[in-house]
Amino acid sequence: MKNNVSCPKCGGTEIIKIPGKAGAYGSGNNIMIGMTIFSAILVNRYVCSDCGYSEEWIDTKDLEKLKKYYASN
């Protein structure tokens, strides 16, 4: 749904984008890769308002950070 204008499950075209966010104590839709809020990698959600199907996506600029962090753990 990030790359298309329709839902892959029902074909609906009303897609809601919910931007990732990092809040206090790690709240929000994110992946923490450090000890501070500034290390959060935001996860954006796309939701079909017809059937409720949802997808989560991480910006390509943050993928390398995830690779480095999880390769070392």
Please tell me the pTM assigned to this model.
Answer: 0.82
Q: How confident is the model at residue 24 (pLDDT cuts 50, 70, 90)?
A: confident
Q: Report whether pLDDT(72) > 80.
A: no
Residue 29 lies in a domain: yes
Q: How many domains does the chain have?
A: 1
pLDDT of residue 35: 87
Buried b (16+ CB within 10 A) or exposed e, 40-56: bbbbbbbbbeeeebeee
- Those residues whose C-beta lies under 8 Å from the C-beta of residue 5, and which sit 6 or more positions away, are 13, 15
pLDDT of residue 41: 96
Residue 1 lies in a domain: no
- Those residues whose C-beta lies under 8 Å from the C-beta of residue 18, and which sit 6 or more positions away, are 29, 44, 45, 46, 47
Q: Give the residue numbers spanning the domain of 50.
A: 15-71
| 37: phi then psi, degrees, rounded to nearest 5 | -60, -25
* Residue 12 or residue 34, greater confidence: 12
Tokens for 25, please give them.
């104590």
Q: Report whether pLDDT(73) > 70.
A: no
Residue 36, strand partner residues: none
